[in-house]
Homo-oligomer: A and B are copies of this chain.
Amino acid sequence: MSSAWENRVSLFGESHGQGVGIVLNGLPPGFAPDWLEIKQEMRRRAPGLSALTTERRETDEVEIWSGIFQGRTTGAPLCALIRNEDASPADYGETGFKPRPGHGDYPAFVRSGGFHDYRGGGHFSGRLTAPLVFAGALVKQILRGCGVSVGAHILQIHTIRDDGFAAAALSAELLAALAAAPLPVLNPAVRPDMENAVAAAHAAGDSVGGVVECAVLGLQPGLGSPFFDSVESALARLLFSVPAVKGVSFGLGFALAERLGSESNDAYYYDADGRVRTRTNNCGGVLGGLTTGMPVICQAAVKPTPSVSRPQETVDLRQKTGAVLSLKGRHDPCVVPRAVPVIESVTALAVWNLMEGMEGRHG
C-alpha cells in the first residue's frame, strides 16, 4: 500500500554545510498553509528555547523554493530550505578521525570511506530534524482538515514518569494544549522532577534520556496493509529514522509481554453514536496491522545525548591507536523535549502516507 514513501519525502543537508532541506511530493493542491503556526511548531524543536536545551541559536527561517504559488500548494513537489547559521565548525575538528562514542561518527566514517562531512555529525546530525518538523507541521494541518489530530507528551525523563495516554481522556484540545507547553506532560506534578533530573545531569556534565508518547486521533478503522505495510511497520520505520530513538512500541508495548491474554484483549462494544469502540485500548489502536478506529498510541525511547563533557575512551582512526576524547562546546543535557515535535512530525508523515495509500485502494 504505502510503498510510495520514497516518492514522498527526500531529506538532505548537513549540520555545518550550507543548510538542510526537504522535498515533499504528493501534497494536495490548493492547500493554504498557516505559516505562522508552522513557525511556532518549528520553534518547539529549536534549540535555546528553554533552560533544558543547548544554547546554539538558530532562527531556522524556512525558504520555500517550489511547490507554492499565490500562497497555496500546487501539488508539485514542495522544496523547503533552511540555511545554517551560528555554526562553529572549529568545535568539531577532531571528530573526523576520533569518533565520538554513542554518535554515528565511526560507522559514517566506514560507510563513506572517510569522505563524510564529519562536522557536527554532518548528514547524521539532529539538525536534519528541522526540515522534518517543517514537513510535519504542514502535514498536521492537512490532517487536521481530515479530522485527524496528532500530539505527544513526555512520558519519561530519566526515571521520572508521567501518566500515560492510555488512561487519559484524549481529545484534540488536550493535544493542542500539550503542544503549547514547553515541557508537555499530562501530570504537571512531575514537571519539577523532570527539570531537576535534567539540571542534575547538566551540572555533572552528563545527559539523560527519556520516552516520548504520541497519539493520533480520528483515524478511520482499517488503515494499513498486511504484511509489510502494517500500521506499526509504517510508523516504526519513520520513528526509528529519528536519531537517538532505540525503541518503539504500541499501546501497552513491552508491558504486554507480562500480561495474560484475558488482561490484554480490548473488548468491543457499540457506542452511543453507533460506532464500534473498545473498552480499553491496550493494543494502541492497531490490530492485525490495521487501525481499529481507536486512538493510535505509540512510544519512542530516546537515548541520552551521547555528547557528554567527561573524557571518553575512543580510537584515533588516522593513527590506528586508542585515544581519549574530551568534547567541548554546547551540548543538550536532554533532547527529549525537542524530540517531542519531531516524533509528532514523523508520525504525522507516516499517517498521511497511510491515509493516501488507503484512499487509492478503496477508490
Contact = CB atoms under 8 A, between A and B. Distances in A.
Nearest to A30: B115
Given A79-B21, A206-B260, A288-B104, A111 B69 contact: no
A78 B6 CA distance: 16
15 contacts: A2-B4, A11-B227, A14-B66, A30-B113, A66-B123, A76-B116, A209-B256, A246-B249, A246-B252, A256-B302, A257-B303, A267-B314, A268-B315, A270-B321, A274-B320
A29 B228 contact: no
Interface string A67-81: 101001111111101
A72 B247 contact: no
A221 B106 contact: yes
Interface in A12-59: 12-14, 17-21, 23, 25-26, 28-30
A324 to B, nearest CB: 10
Please report whether the interface of chain A is mostly helix, strand, loop or mixed according to DSSP: mixed
- State how many copies of this chain the complex holds: 4
Interface in A210-245: 210-211, 220-224, 226-230, 232-234, 236-241, 243, 245
B322 A270 contact: yes
A315 B276 contact: yes
A173 interface: no
Size class of the A contact interface (CB-based, 8 Å):
35 or more
Interface centre among A9, A10, A121, A209 (most CB of B within 10 A): A10
Contacts of A238: 228, 233
Contacts of A249: 246-249, 254, 301
A121 B4 contact: no
A310 to B, nearest CB: 6
A265 B283 CA distance: 33
B304 A259 contact: yes
Given A17-B66, A303-B256, A247 B250 contact: yes
Nearest to A10: B10
B313 A267 contact: yes
Nearest to A240: B232
Given A262-B206, A264-B304, A356-B361, A107 B222 contact: yes
A337 interface: no
A112 B224 CA distance: 12
Q: Which of A12, A257, A274 has the most CB of B within 10 A?
A: A257
Contact of A107 (B157, B253, B288, B304): B288
A322 to B, nearest CB: 6
A225 to B, nearest CB: 8
Nearest to A280: B101
Closest 3 CB pairs of A and B: A104-B288, A360-B360, A359-B363
A122 B362 CA distance: 20
A103 interface: yes
Contact of A233 (B209, B240, B262): B240
A229 to B, nearest CB: 8
Nearest to A111: B222
A279 B101 CA distance: 11
A230 B221 contact: no
A90 interface: no
A290 interface: yes
A260 B228 CA distance: 35
A284 B240 CA distance: 13
A124 interface: yes
B265 A306 contact: yes
